[in-house]
Chains A and B, each alone.
Chain A
Amino acid sequence: MQLPLGLSPLEILLHAFNFAVLLIAVRFLLWKPITNFMEKRQAEYLEAEEKSKEALKEAEELKQKYSALVEEAERDKQAIARKIVDEANEKADHIIKEARQHAHEITAHAKKQAENEALKIKSEVEGQIISLSVDIAEKILGREVSVEDNSKLIEDCLKEWESS
C-alpha cells in the first residue's frame, strides 16, 4: 500500500519513532541547559530591572534632595539679598542722616558767622558814627566855646581841684 508523498506506513512509523527518539534526546540533552539558561536570563533581567528600579528610586530621591537643596539655596539667596538690601538701606539712611546733620552744622555755623559779622559791622558802624559825631561836636564846640563858657569851665575845674 502506497500513501501520499510516496511513504509507506512502515516508513511513517520509522519516522515517528525517529521523531520520538529525537524528542527524548532533545528533552534530555537540551531542555535542561535551555531552561537553566532561560531562568538565568530571567533572573538577570529581574535583577537588572530591580537595579534599574532602585537606581530610578535613588535618582528620584536625589532629585528631591537636590530640589530641596535648590529651594533652600534660593531661600538663602533671597534672605542674603534682603539682608544686603536692608544693610544698604540702613547705611544709606545713616549717610543721609550724617549729611543732613553736617549740612545743618554748616548752615548753623554760617548763620552764626553771618550774625557775628553783622554784629561786628554794626559795632564798627556805631563806633564810626560815634567818632564822627564827636568830631563834629569838637568842631562845633571849637568854634562856639565862648569866653564865658571857658571861664565857667576853668572855675569848675579849679573848684574841683581845691576841694580835693
Chain B
Amino acid sequence: MSRVTVISAKRLDSATLDGIISRIRKKAGEDVEINIEIDSDLIGGIIIRHDDIVYDGSVRYQLERIKRQLKR
C-alpha cells in the first residue's frame, strides 16, 4: 500500500480538498493512504510526497531556487 502526504501552505476548502484526494486516488490507487498537513511556512502551493518521491510546488521552494541561482 502506497502513502501520499500533501502539505499545503493554507487551509483548503472542502471542494479543493476533495478534488485533490480524488486525483490522488486516481493516480495512486484506491487503497492509498492519504495525509493532509498544513505548513504556513510554504507561503503558497503544496508539496506532494508520494512514498519516497517529493514534488515541491510551494512558493518557498521557488524562492529558495531563485536564491540559489542568484548566489551562483
Q: Which residues of A contact B (CB under 8 A)?
A: 126-127, 130-131, 133-134, 137-138, 141-142, 145, 149-151, 153-154, 156-158, 160-162, 164
Contacts and interface: CB of A to CB of B under 8 A. Distances in A.
Contact of B45 (A130, A153, A161, A164): A153
Contacts of A153: 44-46, 57-59
Contacts of B20: 154, 158
A150 B63 contact: no
Majority DSSP secondary structure for residues of B touching A: mixed
Contacts of B64: 134
Contacts of B48: 157-158, 161
B45 A150 contact: yes
Interface of B: 8-10, 12, 16, 20, 23, 27, 43-48, 50, 53, 55-60, 63-64, 66-67, 70-71
A159 to B, nearest CB: 9
B57 A141 contact: no
B46 A138 contact: no
A145 B44 contact: yes
B60 A151 contact: no
B47 to A, nearest CB: 8
Contacts of B9: 145, 150
A156 B63 contact: no
A151 B10 CA distance: 10
Contact of B55 (A127, A137, A150, A164): A164
B63 A137 contact: yes
B20 to A, nearest CB: 7
Nearest to B55: A161
